[in-house]
């Protein structure tokens, strides 16, 4: 008599089954059905998120003769994606705008986060005109916008275009737009940081950072429903202890000499206005060996992970 285990061992492995289709579909809706099983549905191996530092796009943007346009930090090919992306759900760019010229944008995104590296100008979106200057942060909804430079403008910006591209979604319309234009002037940012430094962190605090939010997202402490923005600081000679979290991070080096990050045991030197990519769940730490306070702006798709209760933050030292 053949045992059940022996009989099962004589059968082909479920994991080797190809994609299955309906045997006799009666119409287009049935013909679109596809079937997998518990052996072959969960063995997909996706390319990892590359870590490292984007220095060439920063240098290109900072060149005096850079024309008006966008410079993309694109890693889509390495991640096997069919749309531009720096991490699976975020896309970082540099923007350059010559004096007196304008840059028109219409990102298929919930919104865009802008940090003004240099210059002055006006951002126009949804009938609002925002005069901005160096060091300002702007939040613009997913709607047509025009950025006009009075002095030459260089900016760093991040959107969630890959998230919407992955889901096949469209940007929110007027009836369901979750954010409005928000302006965070540099002087107010400095005031907020001073307020933080007048208080002491506790042992559970991850560094000394300013978190950006707004009137519609304050309950979640996010700047957009899925994206978080923080301006992290490091006093001279200090380091942010090693930690990890499930959301990847895009970091803009704002200020710091003799600074570096350790990402997956890889030494990543900072350079002015470079973009550092920290892959999801990677152990990482930030170090300031210089004589002045370091500043670095970090965007994460942390809102998704907080909402799903899967951020997985933990200190490693």
Of 1-5, 68-72, 128-132, 213-217, minimum mean pLDDT range: 1-5
Report how far apart the first and last C-alpha atoms of the chain are (Å, whole number).
Answer: 59
Q: What is the CA radius of gyration of the chain?
A: 23
pLDDT of 40-62, one tens digit each? Answer: 888 788 999 999 999 999 999 99
Domains in the chain, please, with CATH?
Answer: 52-315 (2.60.120.10)
Of 2-6, 78-82, 98-102, minimum mean pLDDT range: 2-6
Query: What per-residue confidence (pLDDT) applies to 1?
Result: 54
Query: What per-residue confidence (pLDDT) applies to 8?
Result: 55
304 close to 241: Cβ distance less than 8 angstroms: no
Helix/strand/coil for 209 = strand
Give pTM, 2 decimals.
0.91
* H helix count then E strand count, the chain: 7, 21
pLDDT of 198-215, one tens digit each? Answer: 988 887 777 888 999 999
E-assigned strand segments in 219-264: 228-234, 239-244, 249-255, 259-263
pLDDT of 172-198, one tens digit each? Answer: 888 888 999 999 999 999 999 999 999
pLDDT at 283 over 70: yes
Query: What per-residue confidence (pLDDT) applies to 204?
Result: 76
């Amino acid at each position: 008599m053949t045992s059940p285990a022996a009989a099962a061992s004589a059968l082909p492995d479920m994991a080797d089954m190809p994609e299955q289709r309906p045997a006799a579909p009666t119409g287009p809706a049935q013909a679109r059905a596809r079937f997998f099983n518990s052996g072959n549905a969960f063995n997909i191996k996706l390319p990892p998120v590359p870590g490292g530092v984007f220095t060439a796009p920063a240098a290109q943007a900072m060149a005096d003769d850079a024309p008006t346009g966008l410079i993309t930090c694109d890693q889509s090919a390495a991640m096997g994606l069919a749309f531009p992306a720096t991490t699976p759900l975020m896309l970082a760019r540099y923007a350059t705008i010559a004096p007196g010229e304008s840059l028109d944008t219409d990102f298929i995104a919930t919104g865009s986060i802008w940090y003004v590296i240099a210059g002055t100008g006006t951002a126009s979106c949804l009938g609002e005109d925002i005069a901005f200057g160096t060091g300002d942060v702007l939040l613009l909804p997913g709607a047509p916008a025009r950025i006009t430079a009075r002095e030459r403008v260089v900016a760093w910006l991040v959107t969630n275009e890959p998230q919407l591209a992955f889901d096949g979604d469209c940007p929110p319309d007027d009836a369901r737009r979750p954010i409005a234009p928000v302006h965070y002037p540099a002087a107010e940012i400095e005031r907020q940081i001073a307020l933080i430094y007048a208080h002491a962190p506790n042992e559970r605090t991850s560094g000394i950072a300013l978190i950006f939010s707004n009137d519609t997202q304050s309950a979640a402490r996010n700047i957009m429903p899925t994206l978080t923005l923080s301006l992290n600081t490091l006093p001279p000679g200090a380091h942010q202890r090693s930690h990890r979290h499930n959301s990847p991070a895009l970091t803009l080096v704002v200020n710091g000499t003799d600074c570096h990050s350790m990402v997956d045991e890889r030494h990543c030197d900072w350079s002015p206005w470079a973009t550092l990519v920290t892959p999801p769940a990677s152990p990482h730490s930030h170090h300031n060996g210089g004589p002045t306070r370091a500043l670095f702006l970090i965007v994460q798709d942390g809102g998704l992970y907080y909402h799903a209760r899967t951020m997985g933050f933990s200190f490693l030292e």
